[in-house]
Amino acid sequence: MIKLLVIILPVFLAATFSAHADPAITLSVDDVRSPVLNAKGIQASLTGPKASLLEVQLGEVAVQRKVWRDLRFSCHKFQVADGLIRCDEGVLRLASSAPLPVSFRFSSRHKTLDIKIRTASNEGSEDWRLSVQWGKPIWEGMLTIANGGAARIAEFVPIGEKEILPTPVTGKGKINGAIKLHGDAGGLAGIEADLAVDGLSFSDASGLHAGEDISGQINAKAQREGSEKAPLWKWQADASWPRGEVFWQPLYFAGQGQRLSASGELNENIIRILDGKLVLSGIGEVDLSGVIERPANTVRDFDLSADNLELSMLFSRVLKPFFVNTPFAELKAAGHAGIKWRYRNSAHELLHINLRDVSVEDERERFAFRGVNARIPWEVQGADKIHEPTKADIHIQGSELGRIPIGQLHIPLVMDGLNFNIPRLTMPVLDGELTLENFSASPQADGKLQGWRWQFSGGLSPVSMQKLTEALGTQPMQGTLSGEIPVVSYNGSTVEVQGALLFKVFDGTVLLWNLKVLDPFGPAASLMADVDMRNLDLDLLTGTFSFGKIQGRVDVAVHDLELFNWKPVKFDASLMSSPGNYPRRISQAAVQNISSLGGFGAAAAIQRSFLHFFDDFGYSKIGWSCSLRNGTCRMGGIESEPLQHGYLIVKGGGIPAITVIGYNREVDWWELVSRLQRITHPDAKPVFQ
Amino acid sequence: MGNPVVLFRLMLLTLLSLMPLPGYTQANIEIDTPAIASLKQSMQQRHNQLEPYYAKGAIGLTRDGLVAMHDATALPLSARQPVNALIAAENQDRNALYREIARANSHPEWEADIRSIFGQRWIELARSGWWYQNASGSWVRK
């Protein structure tokens, strides 16, 4: 601006002296170039009495490569005298903004320029004042702002820089403070800003980047170093944010005294951040450094480290939005964490996490981990393939999965880039142990599939059923649960068991095969499986359910089982006495209960006959089947003993023997379940032999 | 404004009628499985929370049968994150619903067509004043 005026000045002066009483001078310049400022499409006219009416139009002005377009300036009280150019009632019009009242004084003798913008509105007066003084070789300036409208910043921001602000910006708020500038022939050489903002609000059109009622203090300094051709700016900044709120999709923060201080360098190509420190109230302190590439403003390198972050606030304020729709969306976390993150050449290189006395609890009580202490040093796989995998050390004092308590755990996690392995993990479950072997997890190899895939195998050493049922809060059962777990894998949408899960329970075996869980972490998880149980000890089984004692053994098959929300939707089930020789006795109470499924008749019949003198009876076979479809169970009995009417449930044998026949073929499943619970079925009639 | 739950039930009822899919045999969109019933129930419960945001224009219906933020400025800043979470949960249920209906019809490959039909029908059944995306993807107020 200064040099431009210096260039133009002689033209005006010469014209003024040679003009008539009411001179009319017009000046049209296509292009003006100077080291500080370039301008195009300049039109100026000086008219009116004593040449007091100045009109200037600038098609484009570029200062330090910052571009403004369509500037118009008019002045109704323009005076030139004794090396002083002054305008007391000027109006500046920037493209698409309201006219600004501007006055200026330019003294070629004192080498000073003073520009004032003062507006007055219902919201009070607003002052922007720029004073510049120059001499060889340096010049200095000071911009003083009193109640400056924050929206002006958006107006004054040059074209090409607006992308750093939410677009289009609508803003309000007041700025107070001063910015000192100094420069030399090479242009601006130093800047020092001391600003306070109050009641600042901004928003882009979508409202996804917005702030409201923000107050804060910014102190910044920058000094130009380096050669004229390759200037390097060294800068230092401090900002504090005591009040207001910001939503920057997907994060929301309320100002609570957060502070940021940083220093660094800036040149044409990069912004370098050194010694950055971010103080997040309630969370902790974070050290930052990095390199941002210009003009795209993309992060190339970044380092973040923090020793002692308060996890509960960190999770609820920062991490939670990133876990939406995952099993971790409804977590409560507590404890302390340390983090070190290194990002180089636009790629993650290192992430070290330390957890100290951390607890993590699912608010829906699906899982909980307590007393977690971990050191997780993750590093990216080396491009040269000679990178060594790193090992995480994770100790968990206690956990719960569902309602099942898990004892102390040590997880030896091996990390090779994004491939995670646990060679062997032993989890104390009640009085037994669950062992996981060869656990591996990695991102989907197929680009079409999202998320992760994992697999493991393992086994369960005997867990007391009594303790397990106690923990689950279900019917107490006797015996133990143990088994082998073949390969279990997850492909991003389905958990599948390759092979069969084998458990030992009620002194028999349970084989679970074709096991699949569809969409296990989604809203419509469903389980499919086939189950074959062999040689279950009825004595243990019936003792468990207070059903009345039955001696013997049964095989149970449940095929095409489909569960949704852990409730059966479909299956073909059958129960049949196991082959082989073993004592077969059924107690009066059990007969009464089985036949009570068919009403009071059986119990009454026993009571009426001499059979009530006996505590138990002989039988040769027990058989029952149920096919569940659309909520209805279609029942049958011993298949090899078809009856003309009804179906045989208990075939008598020995002395005294007893036979139970069912007549009702179809029953609503949930009604049957509730009847089984109440044992009050009306239609089955016992036949005594 | 009416009871939002009643409105939602009405919408589902109208939606879940037999609808022919172009180029296929008729798909039973009314098909009911425990998974579908559970998703419907979950969506129905959430609709109570979503309804005022539809009415304010904060959220709208997309042409691919989902819900999206239309104008976050209609919400206080502190509500924008919870509404985002609500939208994400609703879309997870909607995606699962379309997949389940296709699967229950034993034609998982019909999912895209079922989604598209639902997308059109949600918009047809939206209350006046609600926002939706038209065929070209622009937001339109009903």
Tokens for A604?
Answer: 């009454």
Lowest mean pLDDT segment, chosen from A17-26, A180-189, A269-278, A415-424: A17-26
Q: Which residue of B33, B43, B77 is the best one to mutate when testing the A interface, meaning the one whose CB has the most A CBs within 10 A?
A: B77
pLDDT at position A370: 96
**Would the pLDDT of B70 be above 50?**
yes
Q: By three-state DSSP, how is residue A308 classified?
A: strand
pLDDT score for B92: 92
pLDDT beyond 90 at A161? no
Residues of chain B contacting residue A247, judged by C-beta atoms under 8 Å apart = 72, 77-78, 80-81
Digit-coded pLDDT (tens) for A316-328: 888 988 888 888 8
Task: Flag the least confident range among A67-76, A411-420, A658-667, B62-71.
Answer: A658-667
For the stretch A19-40, pLDDT in tens is 445 557 787 877 877 665 678 8
pLDDT at B35: 83
User: Of B39, B42, B81, which has the smallest distance from its Cβ to A247's Cβ?
Assistant: B81
| Dihedral sign computed on CA atoms, order A90, A93, A97, A98 | positive
Instruction: Name every chain A residue with its beta carbon within 8 A of the beta carbon of B99.
Output: 524
Interface list for B 60-119 with A (CB within 8 A): 69, 71-75, 77-78, 80-81, 84-85, 88-89, 92-93, 96-97, 99-100
- Residue A13: pLDDT band (50, 70, 90) is very low
A677 pLDDT exceeds 80? Answer: no
Give how far A324 is from chain B: nearest CA, Å: 6
How much of chain B exceeds pLDDT 90, in percent? 54
φ, ψ of residue B91 in degrees (nearest 5): -70, -35
Answer whether A526 sits within 8 Å of B35, measured CB to CB. Answer: yes
SS3 string, A575-638, reads: EEECCCCCCCEEEHHHHHHHHHCECCHHHHHHHHCHHHHCCEEEEEEEEEEEEEECCEEEEECC
Q: Do B42 and A523 touch (CB under 8 A)?
A: yes
The pLDDT value given to residue A206? 82
**Residue of chain A minimizing CA distance to B77:** A247
Q: Do residue B84 and residue A565 have CB atoms under 8 angstroms apart?
A: no
User: Is 90 exceeded by the pLDDT of residue A672?
Assistant: no
Residues A517-526 have a mean pLDDT of: 84
Residue A282 scores a pLDDT above 80: yes
A246 touching chain B per CB within 8 A: yes
Assess A327–B contact: CB distance below 8 Å, yes or no. Answer: no
| Interface pTM, i.e. ipTM | 0.79
The torsion of the CA quartet A433, A438, A443, A446, rounded to 10 degrees, works out to -130
B21 Cα to chain A: minimum distance (Å):
24
Q: Which of B46, B81, B100 to mutate to test the interface with A (most CBs of A within 10 A)?
A: B81
Cβ-based contacts of A208 with chain B (< 8 Å): 69, 72, 80
- Residue A156 confidence class, pLDDT cut points 50, 70, 90: low
Question: In this model, does residue B22 exceed pLDDT 60?
Answer: no
Alpha carbon A547 to chain centroid distance?
A: 50
Domain extents in chain A: 1-95, 111-268, 506-688
The answer to whether the Cβ–Cβ distance between A247 and B80 falls below 8 Å is: yes
Q: Which residues of B are less than 8 Å from A252 in CB distance?
A: 77-78, 80-81
Q: What pLDDT, on the 0 to 100 scale, is given for residue A294?
A: 86
Residue at A471: amino acid letter: A
Q: Does A519 touch chain B (CB under 8 A)?
A: yes
Choose between B6 and A640: higher pLDDT: A640
Confidence band for A11, pLDDT divided at 50, 70 and 90: very low
Residue among B72, B81, B97 whose CB faces A321 most closely? B81
Supply the pLDDT for residue A35.
60
Please state which of the ranges A50-54, A448-452, A663-667 shows the lowest mean pLDDT.
A448-452
- Name the residue range of residue B15's domain: 4-141
pLDDT at A65 over 90: no
Mutate to test the interface with B, among A170, A201, A252, A669 (most CBs of B within 10 A): A252
- pLDDT given for residue A96 in this prediction: 65
Work out how many domains chain B is built from and give that number.
1
Contacts (Cβ under 8 Å, ≥6 apart) of B82: none
Determine the average pLDDT of the residues in A64-79: 82
- Evaluate if residue B6 carries a pLDDT over 50: yes
Report the DSSP beta bridge partners of residue A498. Answer: A487
Cβ neighbours of A206 in B, within 8 Å: 69, 71-73
Cβ separation of A207 and B88 shorter than 8 Å? no
CB atoms B92 and A325 under 8 Å: yes
For B87-100, what is each residue's pLDDT tens digit? 999 999 999 999 88
Bridge partners of A512, per DSSP, are A501, A531
Residue type, A13: L
**pLDDT score at A121:** 76
DSSP A318: I
| Closest CA relative to residue A379, chosen from A391, A369, A365 | A391
* pLDDT of A270 strictly over 80: yes
Helix (H) or strand (E) holding B117: helix B111-125
Nearest CA in chain B to A493: B96
What pLDDT is stored for residue B1 in this prediction?
A: 42
Beta strands, E only, A324-416: 331-344, 347-362, 367-379, 390-401, 404-406, 409-416
Q: What is the pLDDT of residues A343-395, one digit of tens each?
A: 999 999 999 999 999 999 998 888 999 999 999 999 987 655 567 889 999 99
d(Cα A531, Cα A558) in Å, to the nearest integer? 5
Angle, helices B77-104 vs B34-56, to 10°: value is 150
For residues A261 and A269, is the Cβ–Cβ distance under 8 A? no
Which residues in A lie closer than 8 A to residue B34 (C-beta atoms)? 564-565, 567, 569
- Residue A655: Cβ within 10 Å count: 9
d(C-alpha A63, C-alpha A42), whole Å: 15
Alpha carbon distances (Å) from A443 to A100, A205, A390, A450, A452? 58, 36, 18, 8, 4
B96 CA to chain A: closest CA distance, Å?
7
Q: A484 or A409, which is more confident?
A: A409
pLDDT digit string (tens) for A584-610?
A: 998 887 877 777 664 334 444 555 566
- CB A490 within 8 Å of CB A463: no
Q: Is the pLDDT of residue A10 over 80?
A: no
Q: For B34, which residue in chain A has the nearest alpha carbon?
A: A564
Reported as a single tens digit per residue, the pLDDT across A615-628 is: 788 899 999 899 99
Whether the CB of B42 is below 8 Å from some CB of chain A: the reply is: yes
Statement: residue B19 has pLDDT above 60: no
pLDDT band at A503 (very low <50, low <70, confident <90, very high): confident
